[in-house]
Amino acid sequence: MPRPRDPEVDRALAEATLALLHEVGFEALALDAVAARAGVSRPALYRRWPTKLHLVAHVLAESVAPMPDPDTGSAREDLRVLATTLLDALSWVLLAVHAEARRAPELGLHERFLAGRHALVAEVVRRGVARGELRGDLAPDLVRDLLLGPLLYHWFATGERPSVDRVFDHVWPTLVPG
């Protein structure tokens, strides 16, 4: 029969993981360093998470707060707030983990982190269509990709945080009724 997990050990490992991620990044993160920083044995860490990706995906999924629905009364403002909030929450660490986690769907990182955000964009689009602010033929995933895709790509390509307003000024006309 497996031993129950100690929440204090879990907390220490999570704190150590987050600290080391900020210091060295995902690629350089070593599980031995996490265990040492947390003051726990390597077996205690490996009993909980068999790989670095499992550990980091769990810690990030547990530490990143859900994105609130801005519901400002304006589809444009709601989408702008969501895009800004997403950029504020992302870091190179989180992007690296998401890219790596695509090869390990059993971790459920997509469901635990992105699915709720995608549903929120869909709700904003639904409200915008219902109010006549957005075209009725828009697919929420297309709106997400048209608005967020350029922001993320710019960040990847340049290493600089993009201007949400600049992207919105260019993309918005394609989303609104003629």
Q: Where are the domains of the chain?
A: 7-63, 75-174
Distance CA 167, CA 83 (A): 10
Mean pLDDT of 83-104: 77
The predicted pLDDT at position 103 comes to: 78
pLDDT in tens, 134-144: 999 999 999 99
Whether the domain at 7-63 and the domain at 75-174 fall into the same CATH topology: no
Percentage of the chain beyond pLDDT 90 is 51
Helix, strand, coil % in the chain, rounded to nearest 5:
70, 0, 30
- pLDDT tens-digit profile of 96-125? 777 777 777 887 777 777 788 889 999 999
Domain 75-174: what homologous superfamily? Answer: Tetracycline Repressor, domain 2 (1.10.357.10)
Superfamily of domain 7-63: Homeodomain-like (1.10.10.60)
152 burial via Cβ count (<10 Å: 0-12, 13-18, 19+): middle
- pTM of the full structure: 0.78
Cβ-proximal residues to 87 (8 Å cutoff; 6+ apart), any chain: 151, 155, 161, 162, 164
